[in-house]
Structure 1
Amino acid sequence: MASFHVIAGADDRIVRPGIRKIGFADLTDALRRGFDDFMAKPSHIMFICIVYPLVGVVLAAWTSGGGALQMLFPLMSGFALIGPFAGIGLYEISRRREAGLDTSWHHAFDVRLSPAVPAIIAVGFFLFAVFIAWLLAARAIYISIYGDVAPASLTTFVSDVLTTSQGWQLIIFGGLVGFVFAVVVLCTTVIAFPLLLDRDVGAYEAMATSVRAVAANPVAMAGWGLIVAVLLAIGSIPVFAGLIIVIPVLAHATWHLYRKVVEPPLG
């Protein structure tokens, strides 16, 4: 592995990749290409991603048994915040397929050989910090409305949230705060990990390039964020089973989104 470097690339230079303008047609094409990557070897990708619905079931059981039912939704929705990091192995599969290389499932773990691993870890720590901050914020909102008392049961809690003024306060304030966290993650990491796999530009420039990509394409990137949120919500409905398909398709599509919005290096 190359020397430990995080802020800049391996040669300590800050290189600013060029940004293209994209539209909604590019988003749909990225999704189509992501689905094509998924269908190329769906059994391998599904094997890798079955961990996501399993984690969802475990979290549901843990919160219900640990007197923390009020944290189930923040925990599950928080997956969207760390999703860009969780999909990194699938970006590698798409990269290899694009290059005409072998795409067997074990190559998803080739990320560990990338010279950009230190920068990838740094951005991963950033996402984990955002995830923890979201959980703390969600807990503070719940306590400010209901007090430090756990719900008696999931059924009672859901009914209370949907039918009382306190519940709607929780939905509104929690939704607004969650939206802010989601925007931060979208702006800073939407194409950061694919960029680092493709080019070792350093953590700072990878995140800065994501910010520039969103600034240059605010409407399209907002649309992408909405697509991700809707598909994750749909995939979570049947006991999280749909995530086995949704997660890899979105991850592969993110690689193709990166290819569309970031210009290739000169030379």
Structure 2
Amino acid sequence: MLDSAQPVPAPAAVTPEIRRIGMADVNWALSEGWKDFTAKRGDLIFLGLLYPFVCLLAGAIALNDSLLPLFFPAVAGLSIAGPAVAAGFYELARRREAGLESSWWHFFDPLNGRSRTPLAMLSLGLAVLFGAWLMAAYLIYAATLGQTGAMQIGDIFGRLFTTPEGWAMIVIGHLVGAAFAAVTLVFAFISFPMVVDRSVEAPDAVRTSLAAARRNPGETLGWGLRVGVLLVLGTIPFAIGLAVVLPWLGYATWHLYTRVIVR
């Protein structure tokens, strides 16, 4: 009989088998994700989560012009938080795939079961990335457009597109933003659905996500480009489209995970 005072050794980390996929699988995941969305939309959930944040940020900027340079980076950075918020959609897609009941209360199942701790750890990692992105965005502004004086709401677009500093901020900001997007992609596109799907620790899920990106570099890039285009389209106008795009991508990410990982 085991001594109850002795610690139980943790299970050895095991990286699951990773498939080599093609771009047809990436497109299939988006197609299946759209089917899930039409069956279980989810846009109302994102309206409730997304727009209070945008309105709060807009209100803060209206009271303090010094926060204006962070408005667009903050809205753009919502994509960094997307994999964490979409955990409920991974669960709904998993249940639909397995032929299980997929009522809306199952959206919150990952917060209550074995997935809770690894999800919290992965979400903390995304929060660190989001904070680093905002800091980088502000430093880029300070080194470029900020050199021309304090920004006002009425002259933001004029100074952004008609000054060398404004164009420098656009170019550098996009390059740095692309780097953050790439890090987020390889960190999250497999790790989040994986901790919803199986009992696994967050570091093991991240290692699997990185390994999947190395195994399928072109497909990972293709997926990231499609995600980026959809997110940009979703922000027009006033980020309304994100209420559709984010749930759709949540469902599609689950289906991509099922093609990449042998379960």
Which amino acid is 1:48 matched to? I
Q: Which runs of 4+ in 1 moved over 4 A?
A: none
Unmatched runs of 5 consecutive residues or more in structure 2: 1-8
Which residue in the other structure is 1:30 paired with?
29
Provide the rounded CA distance (Å) in 1 between the counterparts of 2:135 and 2:37.
35
Query: Is the aligned partner of 1:71 residue 2:59?
Result: no
Alignment of 1:148-187 (within 5 A): 149-153=149-153, 155-187=154-186
Q: Structure 1 residues 111 and 234, CA, compared in 2 at 3 Å: closer, same or farther?
A: same
Which residue in the other structure is 1:232 paired with?
231
Provide the rounded CA distance (Å) in 1 between the counterparts of 2:55 and 2:215.
39
Displacement after TM superposition at 1:54 (Å): 4.2
Q: Could you say what the CA RMSD is over the residues aligned between the two structures, in angstroms?
A: 1.6
Displacement after TM superposition at 1:176 (Å): 1.2
Which amino acid is 2:44 matched to? F
TM-score of the two chains, using structure 2 as the length reference: 0.91
Which amino acid is 2:46 matched to? C
TM-score of the two chains, using structure 1 as the length reference: 0.90
Which residue in the other structure is 1:6 paired with?
none
Which residue in the other structure is 1:202 paired with?
201
Contact 1:49 1:244 in 2 (8 A): yes
Displacement after TM superposition at 1:119 (Å): 1.2
Which amino acid is 1:213 matched to? A
Percent identity over paired residues: 39
Which residue in the other structure is 1:60 paired with?
58
Provide the rounded CA distance (Å) in 1 between the counterparts of 2:62 and 2:251.
33
Displacement after TM superposition at 1:148 (Å): 9.3
Which residue in the other structure is 1:48 paired with?
45
SS at match of 1:16: coil
Provide the rounded CA distance (Å) in 2 between the counterparts of 1:125 and 1:235.
25
Displacement after TM superposition at 1:138 (Å): 0.8
Alpha-carbon displacement from aligned partner over 1:148-181 (angstroms, at most 9, x marks no partner): 954111x411221122110110011111111111
Displacement after TM superposition at 1:208 (Å): 0.6
SS at match of 2:208: helix
Which amino acid is 1:27 matched to? V
Provide the rounded CA distance (Å) in 2 between the counterparts of 1:85 and 1:150.
35
Displacement after TM superposition at 1:99 (Å): 1.2
Which residue in the other structure is 1:255 paired with?
254
Query: Is the aligned partner of 1:90 residue 2:89?
Result: yes
SS at match of 2:77: helix
